[in-house]
Structure 1
Amino acid sequence: MDTTAYLPLAAAAGLQQALDVTSNNLANGATAGFRASRLVFEDLLTPADPARGPIAMPQPRMSYTDTRAGTLTPTGNPLDLALGGEGLFAFALPDGGIGYGRAAQLTPDAEGQLVTAAGHAILDDGGAPVVLAEGTGLPVVGRDGTVSDGTGAMIARIGVYAAPDLATWQRSGESLFQPRDGAPEPELMEAPQVIQGAVEASNVNPITEMVRLIKIQRAYDQAMSVGRNHDELRRTALSKIGQRA
């Protein structure tokens, strides 16, 4: 394939990935604790042509997470927890791993464990699920993460972890993240800011994402139009070459 034909296809492929990422951001604009994804592009240089020199083609290199915090919304529900400043809650995953996230809208399960809507138990600072004994009332959660039952007895201390490299972590669904293989494990924060009765919204700005989506769609259409025009010119040239003199 000649370079002229490859350029619009390469651009369209990258824009398709950008379109998928932006669409996913928009779809999660109302998902508590969600962090938007972004793509990083780099120039891929073709081997130098003596007549034209190298040609640069943009290629998506990696995605990263926008770590800006979402707004905090008071709910009045004592089982809704949010974080002020930095930090992540830890949740037990079905495969035995640990997922980290900012959204903690909890409810007691049949065993008294505080779990998310997806069934992930929130973990204390020792890595164990937080369990409410039956009949002890709703918990009271302090700013430092300590959990007391309705009788005033301390149950546990919710683990809050520092994640300085969150932008490069992999997603594990339900607005949760996990460090990639080889990355250092997150460490407990000594002075977290746990906020009871509030939830952190997604950090996606719907208007900004919609504008980005429209720009990407237009750029994609333009790239495909260039490709179609090139194909038409090539067909015309071949038809004329094939004609008898």
Structure 2
Amino acid sequence: MDTTAYLPLAAAAGLQRALDVTSNNLANGATAGYRASRLVFEDLLHSADPARVPVAMPQPRLSYTDTRAGSLSTTGNPLDLALGGEGLFAFALPDGRTGYGRAAQLVRDAEGQLVTASGLPILDDGGAPVVLPQESGLPVVGRDGTVSDREGALIARIGVFTAPALATWERSGESLFVPRDGADEPGVLEAPQVIQGALEASNVNPITEMVRLIEIQRAFEQAMSVGRNHDELRRAALSKLGQRA
């Protein structure tokens, strides 16, 4: 295959990846605490002939997370928690790892643990699940993360952790993130701003993502059109050469 034929194929492959990322952002536009993904492209130099100047073809190199905060919405549910400013809540994952996220939409399970809808326990500042005594009633959560019963007795302190290089962390479902191997471990945030009865929305802008989706689709169609035109020109050239022979 000549170099020209590679160009639309490389463009289509990169645009397909961009389409997948943008579609996923749109699908999670209403997911509490979701952070949009973005792609980084780089030039891939290719030449079938070492004597010729290589052609630069864009390729998606990696994805990263848009760490901008989403807007806060008041729910009135005392088991919904959000964060003002920096920090992440911590949750125990089934595989033993710890996932971190900005939204805590909690329920109380049969053992009194505060967990997400899928059963992931939220962790205190020491890394242990937060357990409410059966007689404590609905908790009162202070701005510093302290959890008290209706009489004011201290039960626990919800952990809020730093997020060094969050943009490069691995995604783990439920709008959670896990530090990659070799990354700095999160530390306890000294002055968190926990907001009870509220949730942080996704930071996806649906209009922006829809415009991006349309642009990607059009660019994909153009790349496919270039590929088809190249094939037709090649077939025409081969046909004429065959007639002369």
CA distance in 2, matches of 1:223, 1:201: 36
| 1:159 alignment partner in structure 2 | 159
1:128 maps to 2:128? yes
| 1:202 alignment partner in structure 2 | 202
Q: In the comparison of the two structures, how many residue pairs are matched?
A: 245
| 2:169 alignment partner in structure 1 | 169
Deviation at 1:145, TM superposition (A): 0.4
Give yes or no for contact 1:170–1:179 (8 Å, CA) kept in 2.
yes
1:221 maps to 2:214? no
Letter in 1 for 2:37: S
Give yes or no for contact 1:137–1:151 (8 Å, CA) kept in 2.
no
Percent identity of paired positions between Structure 1 and Structure 2: 84
Deviation at 1:50, TM superposition (A): 7.9
**Per the alignment, in what secondary structure is the counterpart of residue 30 of structure 1?**
coil
Structure 2 gaps, min length 5 = none
CA distance in 1, matches of 2:194, 2:27: 27
**Structure 1 stretches (4+) deviating beyond 3 angstroms?**
47-52
Deviation at 1:56, TM superposition (A): 0.9
1:211 maps to 2:211? yes
Letter in 2 for 1:219: A
| 2:41 alignment partner in structure 1 | 41
Let me know the Cα RMSD of the aligned residues: 1.3
Letter in 1 for 2:22: T
| 1:108 alignment partner in structure 2 | 108
CA distance in 2, matches of 1:14, 1:44: 11
CA distance in 1, matches of 2:3, 2:173: 39
Letter in 2 for 1:55: V
Deviations 1:24-65 (A, max 9, x none): 000000000000000000111224968862211101010000
Give yes or no for contact 2:137–2:150 (8 Å, CA) kept in 1.
yes
CA distance in 2, matches of 1:229, 1:138: 67
Deviation at 1:164, TM superposition (A): 2.5
CA distance in 2, matches of 1:244, 1:33: 67
TM-score by length of 1: 0.97
| 1:74 alignment partner in structure 2 | 74
Letter in 1 for 2:183: A
CA distance in 1, matches of 2:68, 2:30: 15
Deviation at 1:241, TM superposition (A): 1.4
TM-score by length of 2: 0.97
Give yes or no for contact 1:100–1:178 (8 Å, CA) kept in 2.
yes
| 1:65 alignment partner in structure 2 | 65
Give yes or no for contact 2:164–2:184 (8 Å, CA) kept in 1.
no
Deviation at 1:243, TM superposition (A): 1.8
| 2:95 alignment partner in structure 1 | 95
Deviation at 1:235, TM superposition (A): 1.1
Give yes or no for contact 2:3–2:48 (8 Å, CA) kept in 1.
no
CA distance in 2, matches of 1:51, 1:166: 44
Deviations 1:93-131 (A, max 9, x none): 011110000010100011110001111100000111001
After alignment, is 25-34 or 47-56 more displaced?
Answer: 47-56
